[in-house]
Chains A and B, each alone.
Chain A
């Protein structure tokens, strides 16, 4: 089974600072990779996904993530944090080549943005 590790259950940054949320996966075959965001009392919203081709993926709200096969990583970044970015972020993977699509989630990282 897939395993996803998100380093840091809580990350705090100042408004305008760089946001870096870390995600590592365990499988030897690179999976499909996803970042979701969850605002309080809401469902999960897709930020971006990596399925093939370009290793630098741009998503919504100014976020991007880079797939690094050698490091089995898919870290999420944003150059300048905004107060509205405060939320919980989940990294998820699904098996490449599978038609099933079940997602394996990391434990999440709570992002706090200070004014």
Chain B
């Protein structure tokens, strides 16, 4: 158990819908990262937050957004869903950034029908 929790574990929805994925980091970690894992693209970095502020953006679509709340949990919002958004979404947390170890949650498997 990494100490990072993600809910829900599975999500099945239809095209055009909007969903919210939730992540609680390890106690004491200030950085939260979101990654997408798909067969086509592999593991790709989406976005990073540090202590409530956005720090870095990767290959995140405009239809996707995220935020980190004062209690440091984070949410990833995916809207106008397409079939191609079906993937495993991981949250990771670390103390800071750089060389700090990132601890991964169990992931949320999103299926868009």
Contact = CB atoms under 8 A, between A and B. Distances in A.
Interface of A: 32, 34, 36, 42-46, 49, 51, 90, 92, 94, 97-108
Contacts of B101: 34, 46, 49
Most buried by B among A42, A102, A107: A102
Contact of B105 (A43, A49, A97, A103): A43
Nearest to A42: B106
Interface string B96-109: 11111111111100
Interface string B77-113: 0000000000000101010111111111111000000
- Taking residues whose C-beta sits less than 8 angstroms from the other chain, chain B's interface range is 20 to 34
B4 A101 contact: no
A45 B56 contact: no
Interface of B: 2, 4, 31, 33, 35, 42-45, 48, 55-56, 58, 90, 92, 94, 96-107
B45 A104 contact: yes
Nearest to A49: B101
A29 B45 CA distance: 21
A42 B107 CA distance: 7
A100 B99 CA distance: 9
Contacts of B103: 46
Contact of B42 (A98, A99, A102, A108): A108
B48 A102 contact: yes
A100 B90 contact: no
Contacts of A49: 99, 101
